[in-house]
C-alpha cells in the first residue's frame, strides 16, 4: 500500500517528532486509556500497564523499538523518488506553523474558485 501511495504522491509531509516526545505521548495516552477503561475498538481496552514488561508487542515497547523506522522509510522513499518534495516537521509547533501559514491561504484560495 505504501508503495502505491508513494507513486501517486505529490508531497510527503513528515511529522518527525523526537523519540522523547513520541514516548511521552504514547505513555500518557496509554495511561489515560487504561485508567479510564476507554474502549479502543470492538470492545478492546488497553491491557494493564504492567504488561509493558511482559508483552514484547506492548504499544509502549513497540513505539520505542520502531521509532527510527520512519526516518529510514522516508530516506528510502527519497532515494526512489528524488523528485518528491518532503516537508519535515520536527515538532507540533512546526506543524501548526506550516498548516496555519501559506498552506492555509492556499487552501482558502482553492475554496474561492
Cell 527519497 locates to: 78
pTM: 0.77
**pLDDT attached to residue 46:** 84
Q: How far apart are CA 40 and CA 68, in angstroms?
A: 26
**pLDDT attached to residue 90:** 97
Comparing C-alpha atoms, which of 106, 92, 111 is closest to residue 11?
106
**pLDDT attached to residue 38:** 81
pLDDT-flagged residues of the chain (< 50): none
**pLDDT attached to residue 1:** 53
How many H helices and E strands in the chain? 5, 2
**pLDDT attached to residue 50:** 84
**pLDDT attached to residue 113:** 61
* Structural domain containing residue 38: 2-111
Cell 513520541 locates to: 22
**pLDDT attached to residue 41:** 81
- Grid coordinates representing 67 are 521509532
Q: How far apart are CA 12 and CA 60, in angstroms?
A: 26
Q: How many domains does the chain have?
A: 1
Amino acid at each position: 500500500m505504501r508503495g502505491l501511495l508513494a507513486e501517486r504522491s505529490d508531497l510527503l509531509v513528515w511529522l518527525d517528532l523526537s523519540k522523547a516526545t513520541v514516548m511521552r505521548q504514547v505513555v500518557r495516552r496509554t495511561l489515560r486509556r487504561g485508567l479510564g477503561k476507554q474502549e479502543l475498538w470492538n470492545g478492546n481496552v488497553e491491557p494493564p500497564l504492567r504488561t509493558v514488561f511482559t508483552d514484547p508487542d506492548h504499544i509502549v515497547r513497540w513505539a520505542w523499538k520502531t521509532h527510527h523506522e520512519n526516518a529510514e522509510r522516508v530516506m528510502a522513499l527519497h532515494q526512489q523518488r528524488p523528485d518528491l518534495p518532503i516537508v519535515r516537521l520536527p515538532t507540533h509547533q512546526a506543524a501548526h506553523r506550516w498548516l496555519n501559514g501559506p498552506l492555509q491561504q492556499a487552501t482558502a484560495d482553492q475554496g474561492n474558485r
